[in-house]
Amino acid sequence: MKVTLPDGSPRDLPEGATAADLATAIGRGLAKAAVAATVNGKQADLGAPLHDGDTVAILTANTDEGRYVLRHSTAHVLAQAVCDLFPGAKYAIGPPIEDGFYYDFELPGGAHFSDDDLERIEARMRAIVGENQPFIREELSRDEGLERFAEQPFKVEIIQAVDPEEGAEGSAVSVYRNDGWADLCRGPHVPSTSRLGSFKLMKVAGAYWRGDEHRPMLQRIYGTAWESDKALADHLHRLEEAERRDHRKLGLELDLFHFPPEIGGGLPVFHPKGGLIRKLLEDYSREEHEAAGYDFVWTPHLTKSTLFEISGHLGWYADSMYPPMEMEGATYYPKPMNCPMHILIYQSQSRSYRELPMRLFEFGTVYRFERSGVLHGLTRVRGITQDDAHIFCAPDQLAGELTSLLQFVLKVLRTFGLTDFEAELATRPEKFVGEPAEWDAATAALREALEAAALEYKVAEGEGAFYAPKIDVHVRDAIGRRWQISTLQVDFQLPNRFGLEFVGADNARHRPFMIHRALFGSVERFFGILLEHYAGALPAWLSPVQARVLPVRADHELYATSIVGRLRATGLRADMVEADEPLGARIRKAKLEKVPYVLVVGDDDVEAGTLGVNPRGGEIERGVGVGAFVDRLREEVESRS
């Protein structure tokens, strides 16, 4: 028989050959790295027989999909180990997740796992891996499935509710068995447990069955699994780094912001230094928007329900909105979006093609309901300040506008040392509003923008919102974590719902295209991401104190004060700490505050008009002329390097 490889090349195989045979035929290296296969676009076990005409790709362990298979298989082994060690344990679901996996359990008598239990479970898992147990797929009828899992109420519920994701198709269920233990599962899995091993159990947490607070609280064990011990070690190191960089911790240490319980979760206050950084971010953003031809607008935080009835948000977005307030016979909401308000500004008068593209920009604070359980420092808050722009343009301007817009976005992000981009183009889903031809035109324009920016991108087929195709820009930070930051969306709903128009050169009325764009996404979240990216050591242009002058002794203070004066006179942010404490202690404190430049002045400096430069993370220089240092720092700040 003949199968086709992903690159389109054909491959002859004997009848009855499996994906594993194909991998071996291609090469030993591939066979070793293989964990599963994709056959005609569907994932399958390596042991699944192939058929003439199949298109087959081998999934290797070092890819996202391959790691999912490893993690999912390791989750099975986790549940198997728990069942071995805790007779009577009920197991619920255990999916792979980003960087790992989890499995939810209910222990007899409502018992909880302890940290010691995790060690015991991990040891049992290693024993199962050592036993090289094959993962065997079995297809059962619904009734056989119900019988097999009679003692497992969560599995019974899944079979009864029919969940193809979990292997319960309705009339048939699929099961993966290793040794005597089996799980309801769609697969695929690695061929045998010996293929696993680079894993670690991380923690236990509570989780409601089906995420429903009215259902039983289960015990969730989280773990991580990788293709090699090296990849696992790298991941654990990244976690340590991430903890060291945690913006919530840095926010307290650097006195930037906090979350007062009196105000409530997800609602931060920014302290003077945090407020200053925020202002610097915003000032820079405003400057760039001004240069790029944006108009600045401002809109209120509350609105009558009427606006969100017209926009349709009350129909499909109500769950993310805060409850209404009744005032003087009308219903008001805190706004979850700025868009409809910008539309009203567009609509405040009749628009001519000569005014387009019209680019409206605002730092608009919106309020979105987030469950308290998912709030996370500044990266998940309830009051979100979006750097929000809406661009109204004529259809023939769309492609050009998107192209320059995307380049604008990347330029601004690069200023923050974020240079490793990945983009995702999300296209028309099955249910959509608008005309297919318009969707095609907009999607082509988005694609053109991506190609003009030479940006690497993936196409998320059918994953656009029902009203808009979009580009999501992701960045990798200094420790390789991926953050979704900017979004560009072409909206097919709001222009119609609001009946937007412009008068064309032909004197006829036309409907403009509307682009939604958030660049930082939210100022709060971007602030948190930046703090972690820089590990709190912000570049000089964003640092609340750019230079700290330290006199060696009290009789150098007058000279130190004069240096502070010179720095401040040129607009730099400098301070001095008097010689009440030993110099070493003051230097350490400045380093903890992540001040970019510590300037030490002593006898020689007073005499020669110089200073000693102790830069953050750099070499100490002595006898630097004051004027030369001021120029150097100004240059660094002005260039935002």
Interface residues with Zn ion (CB under 5 A) are 185, 339, 516
Task: Give least dist CB 303 to Zn ion, A.
Answer: 14
Q: How far apart are CA 436 and CA 560, in angstroms?
A: 69
Q: How far apart are CA 613 and CA 621, in angstroms?
A: 5
Q: Which residue is nearest to Zn ion (CB)?
A: 185
Instruction: Name the one residue in this structure whose structure tokens are 């003439």.
Output: 52
Measured from the CB atom, the residue of 59 and 185 that comes closer to Zn ion is: 185
The number of C-alpha atoms within 13 Å of 616 and in the hemisphere containing its C-beta is 21
Q: How far apart are CA 330 and CA 326, in angstroms?
A: 6
The residues annotated with a catalytic role in the active site are 339, 368, 386, 388, 390, 470, 516
Measured from the CB atom, the residue of 185 and 600 that comes closer to Zn ion is: 185
End-to-end CA distance of the chain: 60
Give the phi and the psi of residue 136 in degrees, each rounded to 5.
-110, 125
From residue 523, give the alpha-carbon distance in Å to each of 183, 379, 499, 544, 577. 44, 9, 31, 17, 32
The answer to whether the CB of 311 falls within 8 A of the CB of 498 is yes
Which letter does DSSP use for residue 314 in this model?
H
Measured from the CB atom, the residue of 137 and 533 that comes closer to Zn ion is: 137
Query: Identity (one letter) of the amino acid at 167?
Result: G
Instruction: Name the one residue in this structure whose structure tokens are 């391959």.
Output: 66
Measured from the CB atom, the residue of 386 and 546 that comes closer to Zn ion is: 386
Q: Which residues contact 157 (CB under 8 A, 6 or more apart)?
A: none
Distance of CA 136 to the CA centre of its chain: 36
Residue count (the chain): 641
How many other C-beta atoms are found inside a 10 Å radius of the C-beta of residue 85?
Answer: 13
Q: How far apart are CA 591 and CA 576, in angstroms?
A: 14
Task: Give least dist CB 191 to Zn ion, A.
Answer: 14
Task: Give least dist CB 174 to Zn ion, A.
Answer: 9
Measured from the CB atom, the residue of 445 and 494 that comes closer to Zn ion is: 494
Measured from the CB atom, the residue of 339 and 465 that comes closer to Zn ion is: 339
The answer to whether the CB of 546 falls within 8 A of the CB of 573 is yes
The answer to whether the CB of 338 falls within 8 A of the CB of 364 is yes
The helix/strand/coil state of 327 is strand
Q: Which residues contact 398 (CB under 8 A, 6 or more apart)?
A: 441, 442, 445, 490, 513, 515
Which letter does DSSP use for residue 1 in this model?
-
Q: How far apart are CA 312 and CA 330, in angstroms?
A: 18
- Concatenating the DSSP letter of every residue in 138-176 gives EEEEHHHHHHHTTT-HHHHHHHHH-BGGGTB-SSEEEEE
- Concatenating the DSSP letter of every residue in 63-116 gives SHHHHHHHHHHHHHHHHHHHHHHSTT-EE----EETTEEEEEEE-GGG----HH
The helix/strand/coil state of 404 is helix
Query: Identity (one letter) of the amino acid at 297?
Result: V
Task: Give least dist CB 514 to Zn ion, A.
Answer: 8
- Burial-class residue 40 by CB neighbours within 10 Å (0-12, 13-18, 19+): middle
The answer to whether the CB of 223 falls within 8 A of the CB of 70 is no
- Concatenating the DSSP letter of every residue in 256-284 gives -EE--TTT-TT--EE-HHHHHHHHHHHHH
Q: Which helix (H) or strand (E) holds 415?
A: helix 398-415
